[in-house]
Amino acid sequence: MTGSPTDTPEHHSDASTGEVSPGRSLNFIEQIVEDDLANQIHEGRVHTRFPPEPNGYLHIGHAKSICLNFGLADTYGGQTNLRFDDTNPVTEDTEYVDSIKADVRWLGFDWENEFYASDYFDTLYAFAETLIQKGLAYVDDSTAEEIAVQKGNPSEPGQESPYRNRSVEENLELFRQMRAGAFGDGAKVLRAKVDMASPNMHFRDPIIYRIKHAHHHRTGDAWCIYPMYDFAHGQSDSIEKITHSICTLEFIPHRPLYDWFIEKLAIFPSKQYEMARLNLTYTVMSKRKLLQLVHEGHVTGWDDPRMPTISGLRRRGYTPESIREFCERIGVAKRENMIDVGLLEFCIREELNRTTDRVMAVLDENPIRLVITNYPDGQTETMHIENNPEDPSSGAREVPFSREVYVERDDFMEIPPKKYFRLAPGQMVRLKGAYIVRCDEVVKDADGTVTQLNCTYIPESRSGSDTSGINVKGTIHWVSVAHAKEAEVRLYDRLFQVEDPSSEEGNFKEYINPNSLQVIRAKVEPNLGQRQIGDRVQFIRKGYFAVDQDSTADLLVFNRTVTLKDSWKK
Ligand code: ATP
Ligand code: MG
């Protein structure tokens, strides 16, 4: 199924009202929460968590999880923990921790507690000893390959490890030696003793601790054994007394194990619920793949504006509101689906239409110079141009006008077709917010390229006080040559050429769009020089743009956030 702006129900996000948005029904997780509240499960408490592994930057898929988890707490008067799931020492880094915190805050959410799964290493270790003492875990000397063979396949029972029936004493002794560093990486593992014949492969004596002599970003060298995901996640939820632990559908087969550990350890009964992960067309979402794009230089970094990361979207010009609106519109489903990236673009376009000033920029490496031959040389007039017709409170700004202005090459045709209402020999057009001009003469260079248009203007046609009685059909934008500021404009297109790069044959990187970035020079209105990094504007007739952090005093840099219309509509 593909969601598009037209086939989604009208949802209105409102992150702060403390209610589900009016006009939409509850999603299945909200329904579960309401039922639990009605039945006084967990004494009517709602406590969620957002549990990123700090091994990369957050992406738009994480935003879905963030909006859901924080949104539930907000709606039902609950709390949300930010928990770093940092049980894998090799891939994790404090750079990622910092970026994740910044991104969650930027999205507009604040957490009740900041926790780290690594804070629970002592408790988790004690849980493991408890299982050993109950005869429910054993140290296994089998190699990874041997364990894989023992597990077999779902259609027939697996084989028991020869180490499965070690005594409690021996297991305890060996596990303590593992912890003390007596063995090398991979020499031994601790396995839960569950059921080697279960049709659920996760039940076939899963590994719960492994030896890894590696430095951890928080615990340093204190540990050389680390808990596996299944042994850390549910127990961390339980330690924090999380009531509703939401994850993605791949974890459905892990749920029985999640419940098994909680039951055998007799600890707080957190419950796991699974929703569909967000998949977007023309996008890869897994951190592993995004990491490759960054490390192999296919993009300039995690915050490259073509990346689906929160930091990339922010740099591209997306707002937190537009991302929350998108998450509200996609809803929460129980089945995998693929969302049209056009819906994300729709959300930001709608917002920027309401909120941005319309300004003029001539996006042309080599624009045409329009010379108004009957306009006094050296004179400058100040035009007052409405900032945003969608927002009467936005006022107007002053734009200098003079005898020579830049116009887009695309706004002139020497031999125009019928119904071409822009510049052509003998044809009249309005310069936006200024005067009507008529093109009298075309000047070309030696190669025959048009360089200049000599025009005359109608002095009575000034916008706002037009008494000329002349009606023209075309209005074009312009920038005064004497006042123009230089800018670099980065035009982005989709990073991938196919709808679902991850499902195509071969490597997803074969489907990278070689033309995903086009960098051009532009002439922009002088007052854009006062804009700050991150400010957003509409370049009239061109699209929505945001000021990039690479801007300098001499050169403004703009990122195209989104085009004015969906140019990808089928
Ligand atoms: P990735 O596959 O991109 O590495 P992950 O699930 O390994 O994602 P985590 O840092 O473990 O990344 O995820 C933190 C939380 O965000 C988890 O609860 C996870 O379910 C959720 N999440 C991750 N990706 C998505 C997605 N595409 N859609 C919805 N939720 C997601
Ligand atoms: Mg993960």
Protein fold of 287-355+487-562:
Glutamyl-tRNA Synthetase; domain 2 (1.10.1160)
Q: Is the CB of 52 under 6 A from ligand 1?
A: yes
> What separation, in Å, do the N-terminal and C-terminal C-alpha atoms of the chain show?
15
The reported pLDDT for the residue numbered 5 is: 39
Catalytic residue among 24, 34, 45, 53: 53
Give the pLDDT confidence score for residue 528 in this predicted structure: 93
- Quick one: residue 368, left, alpha or beta (phi over 0 = left, psi -120 to 50 = alpha)? beta
- Considering only CA atoms, which residue is closest to atom 16 of ligand 1? 62
pLDDT value of residue 90? 83
Q: What is the pLDDT of residues 115-133, one digit of tens each?
A: 999 999 999 999 999 999 9
**pLDDT > 60? residue 568:** no
pLDDT tens by residue, 174-189: 999 999 999 999 999 9
pLDDT of res. 3:
38
Residue in 168, 96, 156, 165 with CA at minimum distance from that of residue 131: 168
- Between 107 and 12, the more confident residue is 107
- The mean pLDDT value for 289-296 works out to 97
Task: Between 505 and 192, name the one with better pLDDT.
Answer: 192
* pLDDT for position 9: 37
At residue 15 the predicted structure's pLDDT band, cuts being 50, 70 and 90, is very low
pLDDT digits (tens, 9 = 90+) for 471-487: 999 999 999 999 999 99
Ligand 1 atom nearest 66 alpha carbon:
16
Q: Which atom of ligand 1 is nearest to the CA of 52?
A: 10
Is the CB of residue 62 below 6 angstroms from any atom belonging to ligand 1?
yes
Q: What is the pLDDT of residue 566?
A: 80
Mean pLDDT of 191-200: 97
Mutate to test the pocket of ligand 1, among 277, 337, 338 (most ligand atoms within 8 A of CB): 277
- Write down the pLDDT at residue 16: 41
Atom 18, ligand 1: which residue's CA is nearest? 247
DSSP line for 447-492: TS-EEEEEEEE-GGG-TTS--S----S-EE--EETTT-EEEEEEEE
User: Which of the residue ranges 4-8, 14-18, 351-355, 457-461 would you say has the lowest mean pLDDT?
Assistant: 4-8
pLDDT in tens, 229-276: 999 999 999 999 999 999 999 999 999 999 999 999 999 999 999 999
Whose C-alpha lies nearest to ligand 1, atom 23?
Answer: 62
83 noted as active-site residue: no
For range 206-220, the mean pLDDT: 96
Of 27, 48, 50, 62, the residue with max ligand 1 atoms within 8 A of its CB, to mutate for a pocket test, comes to: 62
CA of 467 to the centre of ligand 2 (A): 67
Q: Is 432 a catalytic residue?
A: no
Catalytic annotation, pick one of 271, 277, 315, 531: 277
Nearest ligand to residue 291 Cα: 1
Phi, psi angle pair for 255, to nearest 5°: -60, -45
- Nearest C-alpha to atom 27 of ligand 1 is from which residue? 61
Which CATH code of 2.60.40.10, 2.40.240.10, 2.40.50.140, 2.60.120.560 fits the domain covering 363-483? 2.40.240.10
Residue 289 confidence (pLDDT) above 90? yes
Q: Are 37 and 46 in contact (CB under 8 A)?
A: yes
Cβ–Cβ < 8 Å for 428, 435: no
Separation CA 105–CA 552 (nearest Å) = 27
Kindly report, as residue ranges, where domains of CATH 1.10.1160.10 are found in the chain.
287-355+487-562
Interval between CA 52 and ligand 1 midpoint (Å): 7
Orientation angle between helical segments 255-265 and 121-133, nearest 10 degrees: 80
Distance separating alpha carbons of residues 413 and 423, to the nearest angstrom: 6
pLDDT at 569: 55
Question: What would the CATH number be for the domain defined by 11-279?
Answer: 3.40.50.620
At 505, the pLDDT band (50, 70, 90 cuts) reads confident
**What tokens were used for 432?**
């936006």
How large is the average pLDDT for residues 294-317?
Answer: 98
- pLDDT score at 120: 98
Ramachandran assignment for 514, one of left (phi > 0), alpha (psi -120 to 50 degrees), beta (any other): alpha
Mean pLDDT of 410-417: 96
Of 553 and 306, the structure prediction assigns the larger pLDDT to 306
**Mean pLDDT on 498-503:** 94
Please, where in the chain does CATH 2.40.240.10 lie?
Answer: 363-483
- pLDDT score of 48 more than 90: yes
Give residue-wise pLDDT tens across range 388-405: 999 999 999 999 999 999
Question: Alpha helix (H) ranges present in 188-240?
Answer: 229-239
Rounded CA Rg of the chain: 31
333 alpha carbon to ligand 2 midpoint, in Å? 19
Domain with CATH 3.40.50.620 in the chain: 11-279
CB 429, CB 437: distance < 8 Å: yes
pLDDT tier, 529 (very low <50, low <70, confident <90, very high otherwise): confident
pTM: 0.93
Lowest mean pLDDT among 12-16, 227-231, 328-332, 556-560: 12-16
- Annotation says 334 is catalytic: no
CB 70 within 8 A of CB 103: no
